[in-house]
Amino acid sequence: MNPNPRFGALGAGATAREGGEAVAILLAEKGVTVERIASRRAASPAGFWYDQPATEFVLLVAGEAGLGFDDGSERRMVAGDWAVLPAHCRHRVAWTSEAALWLAVHLPG
Amino acid sequence: MNPNPRFGALGAGATAREGGEAVAILLAEKGVTVERIASRRAASPAGFWYDQPATEFVLLVAGEAGLGFDDGSERRMVAGDWAVLPAHCRHRVAWTSEAALWLAVHLPG
């Protein structure tokens, strides 16, 4: 058995509208989802929190961004920074630069 | 429940010896392993093939590299390129540049 590999360029076709983000699923298998997220001066809505049932790993590949947490803290991320967001770690996107590019890995629930 | 997030910089402490690679595990949970791999003009041994029981997702974050496959083909990768290597897709690292940096995600078997 030698299934064929797949290839891509992370930034290819990564266009988000001003203030928003665009998600592309690169791989979904065995309960794991690998996503490319393009953000363009994006922020989660005021008062919104991601509260996810499973751990997420995220790498900021390009740009800058701030992740907010419900203790009021904010983590500034620059290209090359990664974060592990455990299940039910409430977080939001506080802000991103114009062309932020993320790789996100959602673990099985 | 609000478990604490963890943060890091992908390139921090990424030093491989000449001709080799250095692997750091960033996350291991639910059968998923997320690794940072630093390569320095590395190549798999002649005749060696990775033949893995589960799918791997790999993103080349910095540098350049060539992935070889057992049909004789080689895929040149530059920073920002990703590959999905299905289970039992035999592959090897043909070559890397001086400071190649990978993010690898191994899916559950």
Q: What is the pLDDT of residues A3-16, one digit of tens each?
A: 899 999 999 988 89
pLDDT tens figures, A21-70: 999 999 999 999 999 999 999 999 999 999 999 999 999 999 999 999 99
What is the structure's pLDDT at A56?
A: 98
Question: How far is A60 from B104, CA to CA, in rounded Å?
Answer: 15
Does the structure show a pLDDT above 60 at A1? no
What's this model's pTM, rounded to 2 decimal places?
A: 0.96
Largest CA-CA distance found in chain A, in angstroms, rounded: 51
What pLDDT is recorded for position A14? 86
* pLDDT for the residue A43: 96
What is the pLDDT at residue B107? 98
| Whether the predicted pLDDT of A2 surpasses 70 | no
- Please tell me which of the candidates B9, B31, B59 has its beta carbon nearest to residue A10: B59
Other residues' Cβ atoms within 10 Å of the Cβ of residue B108: 16
Q: Is the ipTM of this complex over 0.90?
A: yes
B54 touches chain A (CB under 8 A): yes
Distance from CA of B58 to the nearest CA of A (A): 10
> CB within 8 A of A75, min separation 6: which ones?
A66, A67, A69, A83, B5, B7
CA angle B36, A4, A35 (to 5 degrees): 45
pLDDT given at position B14: 86
Secondary-structure class of domain A25-106 per CATH: mainly beta
**DSSP E strands, A40-99:** 56-62, 64-69, 74-78, 81-85, 91-96
Contact A5 B107 (CB under 8 A): no
User: Which residues are CB-contacts of A105 (< 8 A; sequence separation ≥ 6)?
Assistant: A32, A33, A34, A35, A56, A57, A58, B32, B34, B57, B105
Domain edges within chain B: 25-106
The ranges of chain B with pLDDT < 70 are 1-2
CB contact under 8 A, A80 and B27: no
Q: What gap in Å lies between CA B57 and CA A18, rounded to an integer?
A: 30
B84 touching A (Cβ < 8 Å): yes
Find which of A30, A33, A88 to mutate to test the B interface (most B CBs within 10 Å of its CB): A30
